Amino acid sequence: MSTINKKKRETIVLDENSLPLFFPKFTPDFFLPKSSIHSPLICISREIQKYQQSTELLIKKLPFERLVREIAQDFLR
């Protein structure tokens, strides 16, 4: 039976006051890589959330009504 020596890793807990002045304040964006902040999937999900929370219509009523009537006439023919 072999044993492996595991070194204990010390974890350093930092708070805002322990950082030097040249470090930015603690924000979640500080720890994320830049590519994950502006990835297309995150941008798309933010846009979807924005439109789900808004009450304005994306297509005006009359143009939408014309479009629906045109499609309905194609099915009736």
pLDDT digits (tens, 9 = 90+) for 8-46: 555 555 565 665 555 555 555 555 566 656 677 888 888
- CA atoms of 42 and 35, how far apart (whole Å): 10
| Contacts for 16 with CB less than 8 Å, ≥ 6 apart | 25, 26
Q: Domain residues of the chain, as ranges?
A: 16-76
- pLDDT tens for 43-76 read 888 899 999 998 888 889 999 999 999 999 999 9
